[in-house]
C-alpha cells in the first residue's frame, strides 16, 4: 500500500513539474502563430469588395452624366439659340482635354502623397508629386480602399471634368473658344488640382492635405468644386466684360425645356457625386443619397415659393435653378449631415442663392450669364459653413471629432472657404490675363452679334427653313 501511494505521489509530482513547461511551449506556439498571422495580414493586399466596386463604377458614370449631357443641356437651354452649340462644344471640349491632362499629371498632382509628413505642413500639404504621372503604378492589382485604383482614378476624373465646365456659364456667349480652352487648362492645373489635394489627399490616417490636417469637413467638393469654380466664374465674367446689349436687350433662355431636362439630369447624376464620395456601398453612402434628395427638393420648393411671392408666378427656370442650388449646398455636408440638416441647408441655399442671382447681381451690374457665382459660389459657401453646424449630432449629424465644438468646426470651415476664394481668385485672374495676352479673351462685336455657333464653330444649332 505504501509503495502504491509513493508511486502515485511521484506521478502527480512529475505531472506538476511538466505542466508549466508544456504550457510555456503552447504559449510559444500560439505566439508564433499569431505573429505569422499578423505578418501574413500585413503582406496580403487590401481586399476588394465587389459591391463597393460595382457601386463606384456606377457612381463614376453618373458624375460623367452630369456634364455630358446634363450640364451641357442645362447651360445650352439658358443661352440664346445662336450660342447653344458653343456651350455644348465647350462642355465636350473640356471633358476631352481634362481627361487627357488627368492621366498625364492631374491625378498625380491631386492625390500623390509622396513627401507628406505627419503633423507637418510642407509643400506637399498643398500639391502632390509626379510619382504617378501618366498613371504610373495604376494597374489591375492596385487598390484604393476596397475598390480597384483605376475605378477611383475614373471617379475623380469626372470631378476634374465638371469643375472647369461649371465656369463656362459665367462668360457664356462672348468668350473665344481658344481663350476658354487655354484658361481652363491653366485654371485646372493651378487651382483645381491644389485645392483638391488640400482637401482629399493623404492616407487620411496619418497624413492629410492642408484642409484635412485642419479638420475641414468637405465630403464631396464644396470647396474643391463649387466655391473653386464659382469664384473663378465671378472673376471671369468681370474680366471678360458684359455681353453686348446686357441690361437693355432681352436675353431670355432660348429653350426652357432643355434647361429643365438638363437640371433633371444633374439631379439624378448628383447621387453619384455625393453618395459616390463614400467610396463604398455603405450606410454613409445611403445617408448621403437621402440628404441630397431632401436638400435639393427643399431648395427647389423654397425657390418656387419665393418666386411665387415676389414675382407672382413660379417659373420652370426658377425651380430648376433652386434645385441646383440645393445640390451645390448639400455637397460638402452630404457625408455628415442628417435629414434635418438637409432641410436647413435646402432653405438657406435657396434664399441666399436667390438673393445673389437677383439683387446682388443687379446691384453690382456684373454679367454672370448663367449665375455660376450666384449658385455655385454662394451655394458652395453656404453649404461649406453650414456643414460645421449640421454635422453636429444634436442636429442629427454624424457627430464632430472628439473635443471639437460646433463653433470651432464652423471657424475651421470658414478658414477653408477663405483659402479657396483667394486661391481660385488669384489663379483665375492670372490665367485670364495670360489668355488675353496670348489669344485674346473676347470675341469681336461682329462675332458676338452673329453668334458663336456660326462664327466659332461653323455650325448652327437650328436650321429654320
Does residue 19 fall inside a structural domain? no
Q: What is the CATH number of the domain that holds 276?
A: 1.10.3430.10
pTM of the model: 0.90
Does residue 9 fall inside a structural domain? no
Does residue 28 fall inside a structural domain? no
Does residue 67 fall inside a structural domain? yes
Cα angle: 11, vertex 13, 16; to 5 degrees = 110
Does residue 10 fall inside a structural domain? no
Q: Please give the Cα distance from 142 to 131 (Å, whole number).
A: 15
Domain that holds residue 284: 50-457
**What's the gap between Cα 39 and its chain centre?**
37
List of residues 6+ apart from 360 with CB closer than 8 A: 374
Does residue 396 fall inside a structural domain? yes
Q: What is the dihedral of CA 170, 174, 178, 181, to 10 degrees?
A: 10
Q: Please give the Cα distance from 175 to 82 (Å, whole number).
A: 14
| H-run or E-run covering 4 | helix 2-43
Does residue 31 fall inside a structural domain? no
Per-residue pLDDT in tens (0 to 9) along the chain, 465 residues: 444 434 434 443 433 343 444 444 444 444 444 444 444 444 456 689 999 999 999 999 999 999 999 999 999 999 999 999 999 999 999 999 999 999 999 999 999 999 999 999 999 999 999 999 999 999 999 999 999 999 999 999 999 999 999 999 999 999 999 999 999 999 999 999 999 999 999 999 999 999 999 999 999 999 999 999 999 999 999 999 999 999 888 899 999 999 999 999 999 999 999 999 999 999 999 999 999 999 999 999 999 999 999 999 999 999 999 999 999 999 999 999 999 999 999 999 999 999 999 999 999 999 999 999 999 999 999 999 999 999 999 999 999 999 999 999 999 999 999 999 999 999 999 999 999 999 999 999 999 999 999 999 999 999 875
If one counts the domains in the chain, the total is: 1
Does residue 17 fall inside a structural domain? no
Identify the burial level of 334 via C-beta atoms within 10 angstroms of its C-beta, where 0-12 means exposed, 13-18 middle and 19 or more buried: buried
* Spatial CA neighbour of 381 closest among 237, 272, 218, 238: 218
Q: Are 276 and 55 in contact (CB under 8 A)?
A: yes
Amino acid at each position: 500500500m505504501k509503495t502504491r501511494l509513493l508511486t502515485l505521489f511521484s506521478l502527480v509530482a512529475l505531472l506538476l513539474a511538466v505542466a508549466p513547461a508544456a504550457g510555456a511551449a503552447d504559449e510559444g506556439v500560439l505566439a508564433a502563430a499569431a505573429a505569422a498571422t499578423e505578418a501574413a495580414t500585413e503582406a496580403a493586399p487590401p481586399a476588394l469588395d465587389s459591391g463597393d466596386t460595382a457601386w463606384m463604377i456606377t457612381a463614376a458614370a453618373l458624375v460623367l452624366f452630369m456634364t455630358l449631357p446634363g450640364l451641357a443641356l442645362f447651360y445650352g437651354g439658358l443661352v440664346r439659340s445662336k450660342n447653344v452649340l458653343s456651350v455644348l462644344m465647350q462642355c465636350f471640349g473640356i471633358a476631352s482635354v481634362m481627361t487627357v491632362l488627368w492621366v498625364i499629371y492631374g491625378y498625380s498632382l491631386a492625390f500623390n502623397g509622396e513627401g507628406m509628413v505627419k503633423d507637418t505642413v510642407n509643400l506637399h500639404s498643398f500639391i502632390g508629386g509626379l510619382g504617378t504621372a501618366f498613371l504610373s503604378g495604376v494597374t489591375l492589382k492596385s487598390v484604393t480602399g476596397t475598390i480597384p485604383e483605376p475605378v477611383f482614378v475614373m471617379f475623380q476624373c469626372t470631378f476634374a471634368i465638371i469643375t472647369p465646365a461649371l465656369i463656362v456659364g459665367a462668360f457664356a456667349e462672348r468668350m473665344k473658344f481658344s481663350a476658354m480652352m487655354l484658361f481652363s487648362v491653366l485654371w485646372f492645373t493651378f487651382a483645381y488640382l491644389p485645392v483638391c489635394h488640400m482637401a482629399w489627399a493623404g492616407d487620411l490616417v496619418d497624413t492629410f492635405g492642408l484642409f484635412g490636417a485642419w479638420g475641414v469637413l468637405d465630403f464631396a467638393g464644396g470647396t474643391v468644386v463649387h466655391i473653386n469654380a464659382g469664384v473663378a466664374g465671378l472673376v471671369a465674367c468681370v474680366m471678360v466684360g458684359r455681353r453686348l446689349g446686357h441690361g437693355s436687350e432681352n436675353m431670355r433662355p432660348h429653350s426652357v425645356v432643355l434647361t429643365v431636362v438638363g437640371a433633371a439630369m444633374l439631379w439624378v447624376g448628383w447621387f453619384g457625386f455625393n453618395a459616390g464620395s463614400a467610396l463604398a456601398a455603405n450606410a454613409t453612402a445611403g445617408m448621403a443619397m437621402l440628404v441630397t434628395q431632401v436638400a435639393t427638393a427643399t431648395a427647389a420648393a423654397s425657390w418656387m415659393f419665393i418666386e411665387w411671392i415676389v414675382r407672382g408666378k413660379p417659373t420652370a427656370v426658377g425651380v430648376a435653378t433652386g434645385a441646383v442650388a440645393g445640390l451645390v449646398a448639400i455637397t460638402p455636408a452630404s457625408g455628415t449631415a442628417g435629414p434635418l440638416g438637409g432641410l436647413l441647408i435646402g432653405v438657406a441655399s435657396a434664399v441666399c442663392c436667390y438673393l445673389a442671382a437677383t439683387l446682388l447681381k443687379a446691384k453690382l451690374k456684373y454679367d454672370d450669364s448663367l449665375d455660376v457665382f450666384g449658385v455655385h459660389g454662394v451655394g458652395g459657401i453656404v453649404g461649406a459653413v453650414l456643414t460645421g453646424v449640421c454635422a453636429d449630432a444634436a442636429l442629427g449629424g454624424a457627430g464632430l471629432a472628439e473635443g471639437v465644438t460646433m463653433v470651432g468646426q464652423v471657424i475651421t470651415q470658414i478658414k477653408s472657404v477663405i483659402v479657396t476664394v483667394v486661391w481660385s481668385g488669384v489663379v483665375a485672374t492670372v490665367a485670364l490675363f495670360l489668355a488675353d495676352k496670348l489669344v485674346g479673351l473676347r470675341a469681336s462685336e461682329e462675332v458676338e452679334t452673329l453668334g458663336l455657333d456660326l462664327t466659332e464653330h461653323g455650325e448652327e444649332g437650328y436650321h429654320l427653313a
